Amino acid sequence: MGEGFLTKNPKTNHYRLGLAILSLGGAIFSHHELYEEALPIVSDLSKTLDESVHICLMENEKVVYLFRIESRHPDRLVTQIGRTNPLHCTSEGLCILAFQSDDYIKKVLQKELYAYTPYTVTQPDELVSLLSEIREKDYCLLKSSYYETIRALLPPFIIMRQKLLLHYLSLDIPIE
């Protein structure tokens, strides 16, 4: 369970395969409902902005990438299906974290947070302030927080299911 290959539903106590299973074979959610619903929107956005666009969610206190639409130009950031990234230094992770319970946020912020670049925010009080700002603005814009050459934007394209924030769309923009 710790690696994300198996997850437990806290309401039913049933187990299911976790999203980490995607990393084993690079499986694509081509038959998944979300993929079918989001593909036209994500494709149009990627085409309009000429940037790669991701759909991701949170599992085991990490961001998991479900699928991505590539831009026309060579990509400067490699994000593979099933890859995980930290919550505290990615726009996707911070947006997901911003809408979690206070107890969950405290749990995440109590752990040691690694600084991937000189711009990574690792101090809990600064992160709480940033999460509050994200909730207020409904988007997150980070500059060089995980990769020094990438500005990450998570605009307010959030797919809602049963009033829970489940899936996020993000795009990464190279710093020129």
pTM of structure? 0.69
Summarize the confidence of residues 97-123 as an average pLDDT: 92
Whose CA is closest to 60, among 13, 24, 107, 120? 107
Residue 77 has pLDDT above 90, yes or no: no
What's the pLDDT at 131?
A: 93
Compute the distance between CA of residue 110 and CA of residue 120 in angstroms, rounded to an integer: 16
The arrangement of secondary structure in 6-174, i.e. its CATH architecture, is 2-Layer Sandwich (3.30)
| Mean pLDDT computed over every residue of the chain | 76
Amino acid at 107: K
Confidence grade of residue 122 (pLDDT, cut at 50, 70, 90): very high
